């Protein structure tokens, strides 16, 4: 069940507040209206709860055995040239996009820990959506602890959670 959120804030705080609400809830488009005194803004957004956090593997569990970020960057750079010429359905291509999405997620997680929610987060979401699109286009069946799971999970509102789940599954079989 969705609900409406209204926040009154200074115009300079609108981006920070909308970002925080987007992390706490599944949100629609924000509407902004000036207050009567024209000094502040009223933000309105329709929101819903995110799926239960335990739905996806935690970052700590997903990346427990992951190579260092520097090693992953080196692997991605080395494989990137070969991937360009390959069809999108082969295993190395999926490994590339999965590991790239996981790397960007790990970098974004470090930034979020330090209070930064900018370009690294956007890049992590974009790479996660790219992996999801690849999986959807190639008919890949997402997993849940090694067993196939419902196809609707590939359309989850938490694309980075999907990356963590799939990375944990992939790492378990390496």
pLDDT digits (tens, 9 = 90+) for 36-66: 999 999 999 988 876 555 567 889 999 999 9
Domain ranges of the chain: 3-49, 53-172
Question: What average pLDDT is seen over the chain?
Answer: 82
Lowest-confidence pick of 5-9, 94-98, 136-140: 136-140
- pLDDT band, residue 85 (cuts 50/70/90): low
Angle at 20 between CA 169 and CA 112, to 5 degrees: 50
> How many other CB atoms sit within 10 Å of the CB of residue 90?
12
More reliable by pLDDT, 72 or 138: 72
Give the tokens for residue 155.
């359309």
Given a cut of 80, whether residue 122 has pLDDT beyond it is: yes
Give dist(CA 96, CA 83) in Å, integer: 8
Residues 64, 166, 129, 7: is their CA dihedral positive or negative?
negative
- Nearest residue to 78 via CA among 62, 100, 63, 98: 100
The model's pTM: 0.62
For 13-33, write each residue's pLDDT tens digit: 988 898 888 888 888 888 889
> How many other CB atoms sit within 10 Å of the CB of residue 26?
14
Q: Which residues pair with 45 in a beta bridge?
A: 5
Give dist(CA 11, CA 66) in Å, integer: 41
Cβ atoms of 167 and 98 closer than 8 Å:
yes
Give dist(CA 12, CA 71) in Å, integer: 39
Residues of the chain with pLDDT > 70: what percent? Answer: 80
More reliable by pLDDT, 113 or 157: 113
CA dihedral 132, 25, 48, 127 (to 10 degrees): -10
């Amino acid at each position: 069940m969705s609900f409406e959120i209204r926040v009154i804030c200074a115009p300079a705080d609108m981006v920070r507040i909308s970002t925080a609400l987007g992390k706490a809830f599944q949100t629609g488009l924000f509407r902004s209206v000036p207050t009567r005194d024209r000094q502040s803004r009223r933000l309105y957004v329709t929101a819903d709860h995110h799926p239960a956090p335990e739905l996806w593997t935690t970052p700590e569990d997903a990346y427990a055995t992951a190579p260092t970020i520097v090693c992953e960057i080196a692997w991605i750079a080395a494989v990137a040239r070969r991937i360009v010429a390959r069809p999108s359905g082969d295993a190395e291509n999926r490994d590339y996009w999965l590991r790239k999405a996981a790397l960007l997620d790990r970098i974004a997680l470090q930034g979020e820990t330090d209070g930064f929610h900018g370009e690294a987060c956007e890049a992590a979401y974009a790479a996660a959506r790219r992996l999801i699109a690849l999986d959807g286009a190639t008919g890949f069946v997402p997993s849940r602890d090694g067993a196939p799971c419902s196809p609707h999970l590939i359309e989850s509102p938490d694309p980075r959670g999907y990356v963590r789940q799939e990375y944990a599954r992939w790492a378990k079989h390496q």
